[in-house]
Amino acid sequence: MDDDFRSDLRARFAEHHPGKPPRGRAERLAWQRAWCATAVDEGLAAPSWPREYGGMDLSFPHQVIYAEEAARARIPGVPGTGVGIAGPTIIRHGTEEQKQRFLRPMLRADVIWAQGYSEPEAGSDLPSLRTTARRDGDRYVVNGQKVWSSSAEIADILFSLVRTGAPDSGRDGITYLLIDAHAPGVTVRPLRDLTGDSGFCEIFFDGVEVPVENRIGEEDRGWGIARTSLGHERAAGALTQARFYDRIVNELIELAQQCGRADDPVVRQRLAGLAAKQRIMSHNAARMIATIARDGEPGPGSSTSRLFNTLFEQELHELAVDLQGPTGVLDRRDPHAIQKGRWTWGFLRTRASTIGAGTSEIQRNTIAERVLGLPHDPAA
C-alpha cells in the first residue's frame, strides 16, 4: 500500500512539475506561485494539513514518503514563512472563520506571509518587545519597529507579536496580530546580508490600523500562541530538509572527487561523519512529526532538531569550502568559482542558521530546561 502511494505520488509530481526554475527573481517567484496553486488544486500540498483547508491530511508514514518524493522531484517550496509557522498556529488557535479566510490562499501563495516578531531590542528576549497596539473600537492602532523579517519585501500579511498590555507586562501583555503589509503606515525596507542578498527586512509601523478580527486568540494571550509558532518554526520542514541534505551530501562527495580530495583519509572521515549526521537529521525529523501527530505541537524537542540541523549545515559548508582550497573564497561573480560559487554562498548563508529561529545558545537553554528538566540559569 505504501508502494502504491509512493508510485502514485511520484507520477503526479512528474505530471504537474513546473520544470526548471527561471533565472530572474520576479520570474522565479511567479513560477513558485504557479506551482503552489496547482499543488493545492491537485491535492498535492501540505501533507499534514486538514483537507478542508487545502492539505492532504496524510498519516505519519505517508508524510515521510511525501517528504522523500518531494525532495526527489525537487518541487518548489511556498514563498514566505507562513506555511511552516503561521499556518499550523492558525490551525491550532484560529477561529473557523480565520481558518477559512487565511489558510487556502496562504498555501496557494495567492497571499504571501512573513513573520514580524523580532525587534531591535527584542530578539532572544522576545517578551520584552515594544511595538504597541492600542485598541480603538473595532480596530487596533499599531506603532513600532520589527527587524530581520524574512521575505517581508514580498509579503502581503505580517504575522506579528505586539504589546497590548502595560510596557512592563512581559509575556502577559502580548497579542498575536495579522497585519496587512500594504496598509497605510507600513514601511518595509530590505536589509543586505553577508551573501550580498536581501533575505530579510526591517519594518516600521506608524499608526497602522488592524481590524480586531485579525487577532489570533485573546488579547494579551499571544505569548502562548507564539510558542506554538516558535516550535513549528524550529520544526518547519525538518523532514524535507533532511531529504534535501541526502542529495547535498552526495553532491559534496562528487565535489571531493572533482577536487581530487576523495582519497584523503581525513576528508573521507569528515564525509562519513556528515553522512551519518544526515541520517540522524532524518530520525530527529520523523520523531518530531510523530510528536506533532500525537500532541498537535512539536514541543521543546524541536530545539534539539533545530540545533543539530543548523550545526550540520555549517559543518557541511565548511568542508565544501576546505575541499576547494584557495578557490573556495571565490563567489558567484568570479568566472573561476567552482560550481558558480554555490558552496561559498552556502558557507556564508549558513553563518546565519545558528541565529535565526532562536540562536544556538537559546536552543541549548531550551533543551536544558524544558527537555532535560535542568534548573533555570539565574544569569539568563
Ligand X SMILES: Cc1cc2nc3c(=O)[nH]c(=O)nc-3n(C[C@H](O)[C@H](O)[C@H](O)COP(=O)(O)OP(=O)(O)OC[C@H]3O[C@@H](n4cnc5c(N)ncnc54)[C@H](O)[C@@H]3O)c2cc1C
Active-site residues: which are they?
A: 233
Give CA–CA dist 127/153, Å, rounded: 25
Give CA–CA dist 331/345, Å, rounded: 7
242, 221, 227, 244: which is closest to 88 by C-alpha? Answer: 227
Does residue 124 bind ligand X (CB under 6 A)? Answer: yes
The minimum distance between CB 352 and ligand X, in angstroms, equals 4
| φ/ψ of residue 277, rounded to 5 | -65, -35
Give CA–CA dist 72/58, Å, rounded: 19
The minimum distance between CB 85 and ligand X, in angstroms, equals 8
Does residue 367 bind ligand X (CB under 6 A)? Answer: no
Listed ranges 48-56, 128-136, 256-264, 357-365: which one lies at the site for ligand X (CB under 6 A): 357-365
For residues 195 and 348, is the Cβ–Cβ distance under 8 A?
Answer: yes
Query: For residues 52-81, which are near ligand X according to CB under 6 A?
Result: 81
The minimum distance between CB 235 and ligand X, in angstroms, equals 15
Query: For residues 90-119, which are near ligand X according to CB under 6 A?
Result: 115-118
Residue type for 94, please?
Answer: G
Q: Any residues with CB less than 8 A from the CB of 335 and at least 6 apart, and which? A: none
Instruction: Using the minimum distance from each CB to ligand X, give the nearer residue, 216 or 338.
Output: 216
Which residue among 39, 175, 358, 366 contacts ligand X (CB under 6 A)?
358
Sign of the dihedral defined by the CA atoms of residues 149, 70, 298, 362, in that order? negative
Q: What angle do CA 358, 360, 366 make, to 5 degrees?
A: 75
Instruction: Using the minimum distance from each CB to ligand X, give the nearer residue, 115 or 240.
Output: 115
Listed ranges 222-230, 312-320, 340-348, 359-367: which one lies at the site for ligand X (CB under 6 A): 359-367
The minimum distance between CB 97 and ligand X, in angstroms, equals 26
**DSSP single-letter state for residue 165:** S
Instruction: Using the minimum distance from each CB to ligand X, give the nearer residue, 194 or 272.
Output: 194
Instruction: Using the minimum distance from each CB to ligand X, give the nearer residue, 148 or 347.
Output: 148
Which residue among 22, 123, 185, 346 contacts ligand X (CB under 6 A)?
123
292, 143, 287, 111: which is closest to 209 by C-alpha? Answer: 143
β 113-116/157-163 pair status: parallel
Binding pattern for the stretch 130-169 against ligand X, x by CB under 6 A and - elsewhere: ------------------xxx-------------------
What are the beta bridge partners of residue 157? 113, 180
Query: For residues 187-226, which are near ligand X according to CB under 6 A?
Result: 200
Which residue among 359, 367, 369, 371 contacts ligand X (CB under 6 A)?
359
